[in-house]
Each structure stands twice: as structure tokens, then as C-alpha cells.
Amino acid sequence: MMEERAPAKINLALHVTGQRADGYHLLDSLVVFARDTGDDLRMQAADEISLSVTGPMASGVPVGPENLILRAAALLGPSRGARITLDKHLPHAAGIGGGSADAAAALRGLARLWEQCLPSVDECLRLGADVPVCLSSAPQRMQGIGDSLSPVPPLPPVFAVLVNPRVSVPTGPVFAALARKDNPPMAAPAWTDFASFLAWLAHQRNDLEPPARAHAPAVMETLTALRHQDAALARMSGSGATCFGLFETEAQATRAARALAADHPDWWVAATALMDG
């Protein structure tokens, strides 16, 4: 049996820098991954492909061919079989790459199970723009339509609190509501410690945050709650509605997460550390 973790993906910055003639948006994003927060996949040899879903976020996850895990399996081995179990802990459509991370974990695990090579970046893009970056689960600068990936300096120790107010923020309308789509790219990633990392991040943006806040006021409520917990930086991830707060120590993040969960028992709250590679 093969086991793979699908860690939550966090866009610490997300700049929309253009739009191609075919409609695809051009992005420039610093993508990192949560060390302690994610979904888990188990894959066993079988004659046919199948998917079952367990865990606290299992409700509503499709188990038909539209599921990204099964699409990943069909991409890697159209005639191969496996019994796949997804233990779902990440909220759905939440801006932290749950489906893409699951698909990438399936590709990694099935490639080992079936003794095959991983697909190319272009092949992974058929599953979604976030799948290539999720395949390695390492901090990276993601540009273009998700096809251009480059390393970044090692991250200092950084702890995060992820918060989802359990509202739906549809990606399409958020992109459509952008005031402009030719925004400046990120500055070149450069930092040596937590202070310089925060200073660099403070000058970057998530261009999707303003239209997401307009669509779902709960996003602003979540950001305000994180700032009241003295987060060094609070920002929305991806197209929302999950927001993150960054902290220098594990104790600070744990204390903030406990306070937020107590004040908002209907929210999804998770304290984690960022993986440094």
C-alpha cells in the first residue's frame, strides 16, 4: 500500500499579471505548503480503479470520474487499477488547493504503485493550474498559467493559522471582477530571516482579495479576526475564502488558533508550520 500526504497549498502572494487570448490568466505567486495540515491518500493494487472518501470533510466530495484524483489516475494509467482512499480534512473550494493537492498526491503514489514516471508539467496542467506546483509540495515561485516554476530562498521558520469562514467564493466570478488584469509582478524573492521575509511579503499582494471581499464579506471578517490575534501578516490565500495569519513562533500560532476557534466555533481553523523544502 502506498500512502501520500496532500498538504494544504498557501498562496502567500498572488499577482494577476495578464490574460491570454484563450482566457487563461497569467499569475505570479509565492506558493508554500502546510507541514501539519492536509489530506491523506492510501493506494492499493486492484484490478479496477475506485475511490472512497472518509474524514471530517468527506461530505460532498464526488467519487465519480469528475474527481481530480480519478482524473489523475486516468492521466497516469488509463488502463490500470487501484483502490484509492481519500481521508479528507481540508475544506472544499477554499483557496488552499485541496483538489489539486489530492491529485498531485495521487500522481506521486500511483507512479510508485505502478512503477511509472510522473507526468510532465504540461500533462499535469490538464488537471489544473495548481497541480504542477503541488506535485513537489516545496516552496516555489509559480508564474504563467502554472507552467513556470522556480525555486525561492529557503524559508525561515514560519508558523501559520489557516481560517476558513465556511463560505463559498467561486473562482470564476472573482477573476471576472478584477479591476485590472495587467498588474505588476512580484518583486524578486529575497529574505534571510523572519523579519526580512515579512518585509518582503508586505510589499506583495493577493490581487484576488478585493473582489473576493466584495463577493463574500466574511473574508474581511476573517482577516480582521486574524489581525486581532496579532498576526504579523494576514492575507487571503488563492481565490478564497481561506485566509492565513503568519506568526514567528509556534506558541503564538497555537494561541491564536485556539482563540479563533473559541470565538468562531463554526469556522475551520488550523495551526501549522510552513514546510521549508
pLDDT in single tens digits along all 277 residues of the chain: 999 999 999 999 999 999 999 999 999 999 999 999 999 999 999 999 999 999 999 999 999 999 999 999 999 999 999 999 999 999 988 999 889 999 999 999 999 999 999 999 999 999 999 999 999 999 999 999 999 999 999 999 999 999 999 998 888 899 999 989 999 999 999 999 999 999 999 999 999 999 999 999 999 999 999 999 999 999 999 999 999 999 999 999 999 999 999 999 999 999 999 999 7
Question: If DSSP states are collapsed to H, E and C, what string results for 146-187?
Answer: CCEEEECCCCCCCEEEEEECCCCCCHHHHHHCCCCCCCCCCC
Q: Where in the chain is the domain with CATH 3.30.230.10?
A: 2-148
pTM over 0.75: yes
Q: Where in the chain is the domain with CATH 3.30.70.890?
A: 153-273
* Contact by Cβ (8 Å): 16, 204: no
Active site residues: 9, 130
Beta bridge mates, 15? 28
Considering the segment(s) 153-273 as one domain, its CATH architecture is: 2-Layer Sandwich (3.30)
pLDDT of residue 107: 98
pLDDT of residue 81: 97
- Compute the distance between CA of residue 31 and CA of residue 8 in angstroms, rounded to an integer: 10
* Contact by Cβ (8 Å): 51, 70: yes
Q: In this structure, which CATH number among 3.40.50.300, 1.10.10.60, 3.40.605.10, 3.30.230.10 belongs to the domain 2-148? A: 3.30.230.10
